[in-house]
Structure 1
Amino acid sequence: MRSIIGIIFGNTRSDLLQGLTQERPIAAVPFGGKFRLLDFALSSLVNSGIRTVGLITPQHYRPVLDHTGAGKDWYLDRKSGGLFILPGAIHGLTGGQSKFPLKDMGLNIEFLEKDVSENVIITYCNQVYNINYHDTLIFHEKKQSDITLIYKESDNPRELEGRTILSLGEGQTVHALEENEAQETSPSLKPYFVDMLIIRRKLLLEIIEGYKTIDTIDLLDSIRENLSILSVFAFLANAYIGRIRSIADYFNRNMDLLDPEICAELLLSKNRIYTKVRDKSPTFYSSTANVRDSLLTCECSIEGEVEHSILSRGVMIKSGAKIKNSILLQKCIIGPDAVLENVILDKFVEIKEGNVLKGSGDNPLVISKKSII
């Protein structure tokens, strides 16, 4: 899709995932054993044929740069186009609800001005999905739309909380955008915006220029204010989209990967989710290992029991240890006879022999990076 470029907002609020975002932005949070959350947004753009992508980075951007490099693993190390690292103007969004701050795009106006593409896809990176935007762009062009908002439908109050609810008319036109902050009882399906949109590049430049004197305005606010004069449509996404805005969300979206249908859609479809390549040895299973309903990556050493859990690279489970409903990030060491249930361990955590750590499904226990228990 040469007529379109992509922008990913990687400076999502940094206070959402407790200790997991203490030293990294949400974009760089590990997910599913070997991925980062950023991989899903970036791979979906690449799989859609987009070869120019701007990544707006947060204040603590080193983990993002370490992961992406020049974009080689996503085929974006190119002479023409490629991956552009764009500085964010608004850092540490710990108290705001802004998704697509115009000030961030205004700071990187040259990225939009020097390109000749007609459209821009803008997306957030605190969601897990595997989407090809080809059909969305066809819809966008057929409707001659200024802006196309991608949406899903739900009657689940938890899923609708904090979402932008769309009021739709004939032909999928958007008449209103309303914020839904509370968990209200919803007796019927409601269309909600999934933080992905297509917008005409020249229109985006006009919006940035028109609101340049206002520091805190969001792109969605500007769209809402100008609905009467813009051609705004909505496109229904028939795909799994797992939002992460709390530690419970992070835990549950990881566990969703143990559902064969969701795992197949996200990780086993013809559209791959790319990530930084690390060539390591396969996982070792001893004669005492007992692994059920779990997802393990390479370089692990398993001597104990693992049930309904996700293990990242280099995790060691010693003899007699029992891991259940847990997420263990890179190079954690679980000592003999230790018990973990509903626990999230950040990288390089060591649990000594015989310790018992238990959380709950709604409130998993999070152990910070490099801790020794």
Structure 2
Amino acid sequence: MSGVKALAIILGGGKGTRLYPLTKERSKPAVPFGGKYRIIDISVSNCINSDIRQVYLLTQFNSASLHMHISNTYNFDRFSHGFVEILAAEQTLEHSGWYEGTADAVRKNFIHFKTQNPTHYVILSGDQLYRMDIQQFLKNHLDSEAEISIATTRVNRADASGFGIMKADETGRITQFMEKPATDLDISTWEIPSGAYADAPSEKKFLASMGIYIFTAAVMEQALDNALSDFGKEIIPAEIQRRKVQSYVHSGYWEDIGTIRSFFEANIDLTTITPSFNFYDEAAPIYTNQLNLPPSKINQAEIAQSITSEGCVISRAHIRHSVIGVRSVIEEHSELDNVVFMGADYYEKPGEPGPHIGIGKRCRIANAIIDKNARIGDCCHIGVSGKTYPNGEYAAVPGAYVADNIIVIRKNAVIPAGTSI
């Protein structure tokens, strides 16, 4: 595609309240995922694998750890002119406030984008799990002579109420937009046209926006020449009325991992025999920071359908359907079932008083997320009682939080020996 220069803009999201407490001390894109990765690695790797090497990441909350991860991971040689650069909210003579929404964040950074002289902007989300050849998306945009293209995924009627729904004709041109239609609303006229996208499952009759867009550069600058703050709720519906907006149907796996429940389930799905998202694709790897850790050491443990990352020490434990992060230490006779254990940022020095970083002896843990550097004392029982817990802080145990009946042990939390939750 001669003469085409695409610039990628990844939206890092707001405060990440739906992923709290994982976002208490870090931004949403910096949340660890899949044992050794961060959520942001998915979107950045999609760009790199699609030969888009100029990437801006827009964020404004708790961005220190994200800055460190990006600077340590994505370093291009000087001849490629590639970069992954974070643009946090900043005060200028023109703008003195925070980002007010996705569109506002892009608008306030045009001064940086325009220096790259792009012909097209690719807008991506920083909290989704998917693989996409963005060059194919861009080709579809060019071939259809669209001014704006929207990546869509096919959903059934029940799921449609959680998305922005697109109405498109047989050519894929989007003619109408509806934000999260009520479950009792008749939207049968919004079904995918007969014969279009013939490979669609019969029950998935609606097109949902993935929050991924391509704009011709001049069009985006014109579309944002106003005070509107959000792409999905304001910019896109307005532009559909006056421009050619095209649907690009993504047929692969796609998951929004913006809530504790979806984050937990997406992690646990990685432990299945054939996970929905495949990290083992040599043609399109997911990149992350290379920590140069030693191999994991397994001392007579029983591990079934689980992921273990580098630098772990696991001794006589029983682990099932769990994701074990880097530098994880799990002591003797502990049992983990459906656990996302993020590991640690450092190794503890010998002789430190306990509880030590990691999981102590004879613990039983299930249906839980354990954030980094947590210290779980001996004989703790977490999530194995079968109880239903109300959402929010678990008052009886400082450092524990409940969301959708998943117990989250906060980063750096200390859980005393013998604790039962």
Q: Do Structure 1 and Structure 2 share a fold, with TM-score over 0.5?
A: yes
Counterparts of residues 53-202 of structure 1 (less than 5 Å): 53-69=55-71, 72=74, 75=76, 80-88=81-89, 91=98, 98=101, 100=102, 102-155=103-156, 157=158, 159-180=159-180, 189-202=205-218
Deviations 1:222-273 (A, max 9, x none): 2311323201000111111111121111100111212343366344241011
C-alpha spacing 1:238/1:11, structure 2 compared with 1 (3 Å):
same
Aligned equivalents of 1:244 and 1:92: distance in 2? 22
Identity of aligned residues (%): 21
Contact 1:282 1:300 in 2 (8 A): yes
Post-superposition offset of 1:84: 2.5
For the residues of structure 1 that align with 2:253 and 2:140, how far apart are their CA atoms?
Answer: 20
Task: Give distance in 2, aligned partners of 1:77 and 1:259.
Answer: 41
Partner of 1:59: helix, strand, or coil? Answer: coil
- Alpha-carbon separation, structure 1, partners of 2:72 and 2:108: 21
In 2, the alpha carbon distance for the partners of 1:135 and 1:112 equals 23
Aligned to 2:243: 230
2:17 counterpart of 1:15: yes
* Deviations, residues 344-366 of structure 1 (Å, cap 9, x unaligned): 01111111111100067952100
Aligned residues: 361
**Could you say which residue in structure 1 is the equivalent of 2:394?**
none
- Take 1:195 and 1:138, find their aligned partners in 2: how far apart are those partners? 18
After TM superposition, the structure 1 stretch with the greater mean CA deviation from structure 2, 334-343 or 76-85, is: 76-85
Equivalent residue of 1:69, what SS? helix
Matched, 1:353 2:365: no
Give the residue type in structure 2 aligned to 1:49: D
Aligned to 2:193: none
State how far apart, in whole Å, the 2-side matches of 1:8 and 1:264 are.
Answer: 20
Matched, 1:257 2:270: yes
Q: Please give the alpha-carbon distance, in whole angstroms, between the structure 2 residues aligned to 1:367 and 1:286.
A: 25
The residue identity in structure 1 corresponding to 2:18 is L
1:335 matched to 2:337? The reply is no
CA-atom RMSD in angstroms: 2.4
CA distance in 2, matches of 1:116, 1:290: 55
* Cα separation, 1, equivalents of 2:157 and 2:68: 37
* Structure 1 counterpart of 2:295: 282
Q: Following TM superposition, by how much is the alpha carbon of 1:196 offset from its aligned partner in structure 2, in angstroms?
A: 0.7
SS at match of 1:20: coil
Deviation, 1:140, is 0.7
Mark the runs of 5 or more structure 1 residues left unpaired by the alignment.
Answer: none
Distance in 1 (CA, whole Å) between partners of 2:114 and 2:73 is: 22
Gaps of 5+ in 2: 91-96, 188-202, 345-356, 389-403, 416-421
Cα deviation, residue 274, structure 1: 0.5
Q: CA deviation at 1:219?
A: 6.0
Task: Give 3-state SS (helix, strand or coil) of 2:87's partner.
Answer: strand
Separation of aligned partners in 2, 1:76 and 1:20: 33
1:301 aligns with 2:348: no
Shift of 1:182: 5.1
Q: Deviations 1:311-351 (Å, cap 9, x if unpaired)?
A: 00111111110011000012351111110010101111111
State the SS of the aligned residue for 2:175. strand
Structure 1: how far apart are the matches of 2:341 and 2:216? 42
Q: What is aligned with 2:304?
A: 292
Cα distance change of structure 1 residues 269 and 172 upon mapping to structure 2, 3 Å threshold: farther
- Give the secondary structure class of the aligned counterpart of 2:22: helix
How far off is 1:68 after superposition? 0.2
Question: Which residue of the other structure, out of 39, 42, 67, is the alignment partner of 1:37?
Answer: 39
- Alignment pair present for 1:240 and 2:260: no
Q: Which has the higher contact order (CA 8 A, sep 6+)?
A: 1
Residue 63 to residue 342, structure 1, CA distance change in 2 (3 Å): same
Residue of 390, 401, 407 corresponding to 1:365: 407
Name the counterpart of 1:207: 223
User: 1:255 aligns to what SS in structure 2?
Assistant: helix
Output one character per residue of 1:157-182: Cα deviation in whole Å (capped at 9) or x when no partner: 3x434311111112000011111165
1:345 partner amino acid: I
The answer on whether the counterparts of 2:163 and 2:180 sit within 8 Å (CA) in structure 1 is: yes
